[in-house]
Structure 1
Amino acid sequence: MKTTRRRLLQSAAAFAAAPALHLGGAQPTANRPPNILFLYTDDQACWGANAYGFPEPHTPNMDRIAAGGALFENAFVTTPVCSPSRASLFTSQPSFRTGIRDFLDYRREPELGLSEQFPTWPLLLQQSGYRTGLFGKWHLGTRAEHHPTRRGFHEFMGFLEGGNNPMDPFLEIEGKTSQIKGPLPDLLTDAALGFIKRHRTQPFLASVHFRAPHSPYGPVPAADTAAVADRQLAPPNVAGLDVGDVLKRRLGHYASIASVDRNVGRMLDALDSWGLASNTLVICTSDNGYMIGHHGALGKGNATSMLPARNRLPNMFEDSVRVPMYLRWPGRVRPGTRIREMVTNLDYFPSLLRIAGAAGAIPDGFQPCGRDFTPLLLGEKTAWRSTIFGDYDMYHYFEDSMRMIRTERWKLVTHSHIDVAHELYDLQHDPGETRNLIGSFAHSEVKIDLRRRLYAWQTWMGDPRRRAPWEEM
């Protein structure tokens, strides 16, 4: 059965009270915590955003968020593929703890999903008086016990599996799935705006999880294709690539990003027109990065080579793990703020709970692995991390357990697969990660130090796949 967009906006409302917020001396509007609009794209790297200095995409509305608030120059995900990244976002735990180690394939592993043993920050916001809604991609379990309404959302409109049609998608609305006419980003935005309008008199969390710009990139509305049609794309600097194929794919990817950006503008305009912008925290980020010809690859952490061999390229490249991240909070975050410190998707849990005045809702005995980044937002002096870690146990398509340690200058990536070499990059002198220094005698001390620090982290975190450095020698 096909459903119209009018039906999609019809749903009952319920009231939820919320406690007051006190953060850095700032008083929230009407003595209540801020609303939260969380915008989440799928497979968008920093090269897919104008605000990061790349002219080819079309992201004027994402840029509005950055200009009106903060841009994080070094935001990372700890696992560069869909399901593990999303589980870590919600729980502030690495993928080897959540048990969601690769993207979920419900044909092969229908029993897997986000376990109730882990609290999620939407659940704790819900328990603290927020009205919560998720609109879009879930990809964290299809069984009833894994449903978004069991993991912190009062309302869900979207799809449980990873893929969907960019046009005329199949969507679950009020527990029933049907095909709906229209572009998927627009339909999700329609539902989110309806939710916000119904609950605008109370604190709300509206999470909009776009499927775009994940492939297939189209079809998209003609206006979004036209927005990037005149782009002069730079050819990839990798020998052996089919340049025409790469540029065609990139143009389609940019059109898909434009379809999201246009709907981001719709939501920002609605917040303005409804008088909600001044007390709404807006976040825009992605679940992982993406490559189209970068390193000769297509995809993210489980990429495929675009060279004739078409082999799998398991990786933790910057284009896979580094993502755009903008945050606007009028009256609290100074417009045009740029934050250089390294943050990860594990940091949302403690940060958003503090901002919402709900940090006290964290259960006793549960320790988030992320850090509260609100001091960075507010310009407060604080000692911050200089090292981040990542993990990815790839088992679809190819088996390779990767672990990453990244400092402000160095990155070490280890691989379990015997045919994949460990990697060491000097990001200061080689930001494009084109020269693997793992076999360089001149960098032996750096390699040994990073490897020992990585093992210490794995031991402390209880990584079941940890391997001592001396076992590799």
Structure 2
Amino acid sequence: MFQRLTFVATFLAAISCHTLLTPASFLSAAETRPNIVFAFADDWGKYASAYAELEPGGISDLVSTPHFDRVASEGVLFRNAFVNAPSCTPCRSSLLSGQFFWRTGRGAILQGARWDLAIPSYPLLLRDAGYHIGHTYKVWSPGSPANAPYGAAKYAYNRRGSRFNGFSQRVSAAQDIAAGKQALLEEVRGNFQDFLTARTAGQPFCYWFGPTNCHRKWIAGSGKKLWGIDPDGLQGKLPEFLPDVPVVREDVADYLGEVQAFDAGLGVLLAELERIGELDNTLVVVSGDHGIPGFPRGKCNLYDFGTAVPLAIRWPKKIPAGRVLEDFVCLPDLAPT
């Protein structure tokens, strides 16, 4: 399963009308190998403005995700992407290994997780294939050692800080909201630049961007205060199993504010890739590890509300732009492909 060392083989079969290239052709020379940037948000369910255009009348109507939408419009948007375990550690153990979470043993439990180093993980396989690898914020943890499937702290790039993980908490406390936002986005930029600077010239890279700001607890009222998301705009748009009352609408609006913050961080990564001339040679994959936390049928529940996630992929050299796929896909398939 792990002889294919890029994300693309399975997806190209589904989304391209061209002949499927063999793995050997992807890896025949370093200059032909794509970079990989995986932006993976904690607790981000299937909410993005790109989905609102296709499925109006729901929660996504109120969120604005221009950078996710760009990846989708310049690549492919998946309408039926799911995780096999709607909880962070088991989901991530599957994603990193390409195996069912129960096969990863203690690597899949939420508390006291321990990674079995005998289990292959795609980042370390890419490293062995000559890639410069690195991660910022969360990959697999909680677990011991933290983020072991991605080489643990050896490949962490957090020198500029991890304040972005508490986005609404920090910006809400700032005297100047715009300046508070910009400071956190500069943290994202600096961590990514540190990663890029550390690579050998011409070396392909694989980077994981994993902020946890969409994970509770966000600041009550921050969706409206920081992003102008009016909770009353959600009236009539919540799933029928949620009470359509002010306190619930405000909570969802605050969550959507964190989604927009993640999207802003994604925009920083795309801008940096453009600045160094690597965007079109980079496979950009954007998704989340499960649905909204703290609501019935959401996180840790095997309903669509808990297992459906956003997924968009951009790689203009191989993936035609503007595709929307109805095919059902499961995130653990990313690792072996």
Does TM, scored on the shorter chain, surpass 0.5?
yes
User: 1:193 aligned to 2:179?
Assistant: no
- 1:316 positional shift: 0.6
Amino acid paired to 1:209: G
Q: CA-atom RMSD, angstroms?
A: 3.7
Q: Would you say how many aligned residue pairs link Structure 1 and Structure 2?
A: 296
Q: Paired residue for 1:306?
A: none
- 1:238 positional shift: 3.9
Contact 2:50–2:72 (CA<8 Å) still a contact in 1? yes
Identity of aligned residues (%): 26
Amino acid paired to 2:102: F
- 1:258 positional shift: 0.9
User: 1:330 aligned to 2:331?
Assistant: no
1:317 counterpart (303, 306, 311): 303
Rounded Cα–Cα distance in structure 2 between residues aligned with 1:215 and 1:300: 11
Q: Paired residue for 2:284?
A: 282
Rounded Cα–Cα distance in structure 2 between residues aligned with 1:58 and 1:264: 13
Q: Paired residue for 1:445?
A: none
Contact 2:124–2:149 (CA<8 Å) still a contact in 1? no
Amino acid paired to 1:320: G
Gaps of 5+ in 1: 1-17, 170-180, 302-314, 352-473
Rounded Cα–Cα distance in structure 1 between residues aligned with 2:331 and 2:69: 20
- Write out aligned runs for 1:107-146 (5 A): 109=112, 112-144=113-145
Rounded Cα–Cα distance in structure 2 between residues aligned with 1:231 and 1:343: 34
2:64 counterpart (55, 58, 64): 58
Q: Paired residue for 1:24?
A: 21
C-alpha distance 318-299 of structure 1, shift in aligned 2 (>3 A) = closer
Q: Paired residue for 1:208?
A: 209
Rounded Cα–Cα distance in structure 2 between residues aligned with 1:127 and 1:118: 15
- 1:148 positional shift: 3.5
Q: Paired residue for 1:73?
A: 79
User: 1:33 aligned to 2:33?
Assistant: yes
Amino acid paired to 2:31: N
Point out the structure with the larger strand share: 1
Point out the structure with the larger helix share: 2
Greater RCO, CA 8 A, separation 6+: 2
* Secondary structure of the corresponding residue to residue 228 of structure 1: coil
Rounded Cα–Cα distance in structure 1 between residues aligned with 2:107 and 2:202: 39
C-alpha distance 67-141 of structure 1, shift in aligned 2 (>3 A) = same
Rounded Cα–Cα distance in structure 2 between residues aligned with 1:93 and 1:184: 35
* Secondary structure of the corresponding residue to residue 195 of structure 1: helix
Amino acid paired to 1:300: K
2:105 counterpart (91, 99, 108): 99
Contact 1:228–1:255 (CA<8 Å) still a contact in 2? yes
Rounded Cα–Cα distance in structure 2 between residues aligned with 1:231 and 1:61: 25
Question: TM-score scaled by structure 2?
Answer: 0.75
Rounded Cα–Cα distance in structure 1 between residues aligned with 2:48 and 2:96: 24
* Secondary structure of the corresponding residue to residue 55 of structure 1: helix
Contact 2:81–2:330 (CA<8 Å) still a contact in 1? yes
Question: TM-score scaled by structure 1?
Answer: 0.55
Amino acid paired to 1:187: E
Rounded Cα–Cα distance in structure 2 between residues aligned with 1:92 and 1:342: 16
**1:347-374 C-alpha deviation (Å, 9 max, x unpaired):** 11121xxxxxxxxxxxxxxxxxxxxxxx
Contact 2:223–2:229 (CA<8 Å) still a contact in 1? no
